[in-house]
Amino acid sequence: MKKITFVIVCSITIISVGTFTACMSSDQKNKVAEDKVLVAEEKLQEAQENAYEVADQTATADELKAFKLESELQIRKNDVSIAELKVKMNNSDKKNDKIYAERIDTLVKRNENLNARIYNYQKTQRDWNKFKREFKNDMDNLGQAIKDLGVDNSKK
């Protein structure tokens, strides 16, 4: 729709300019030409700004692939750490097992949620920088929660 409108506007502009330039003096023609150049420069600058904005919001294929691999590696490390926590739970006293098991289940769900988010991002790819920042923050928070639970268990 935008292309059709653009073509119609350009066609009308060209016809109008052609008609008016036939009746204009050379000074008037120069003024019209200068105005066209200024408008074209403004449109070019606006298009470049839009292109930079879009490029900033989307990830390149290589960047996304590297981030995904790094994230999946960390998710697998979290799985191993959670499995180690489960082993420690089985070797600990029985009075705190229920609370500890609930915390471990929460960590498992958070880790699965991160895995789903990185997988689903490949399909949508919206606002790359925001996604990356939030994902890293959530990943760091989960890693800290796993460490904290491991420390709490060893003190008991």
**Cα–Cα distance list, 12 to 5, 8, 18, 151 (Å):** 11, 6, 10, 74
Give CA–CA dist 42/68, Å, rounded.
Answer: 39
Backbone angles phi, psi at 125, to 5 degrees: 50, 60
What local confidence, expressed as pLDDT, does residue 118 receive?
A: 87
As given in the structure block, the two tokens for residue 102 are 């609930």
Does residue 68 have a pLDDT over 50?
yes
Interval 103-135: pLDDT, tens: 889 999 999 999 999 888 866 667 788 888 999
Which of the four pLDDT bands, split at 50, 70 and 90, describes residue 75?
Answer: very high
Say yes or no to pLDDT of 17 above 70. Answer: no
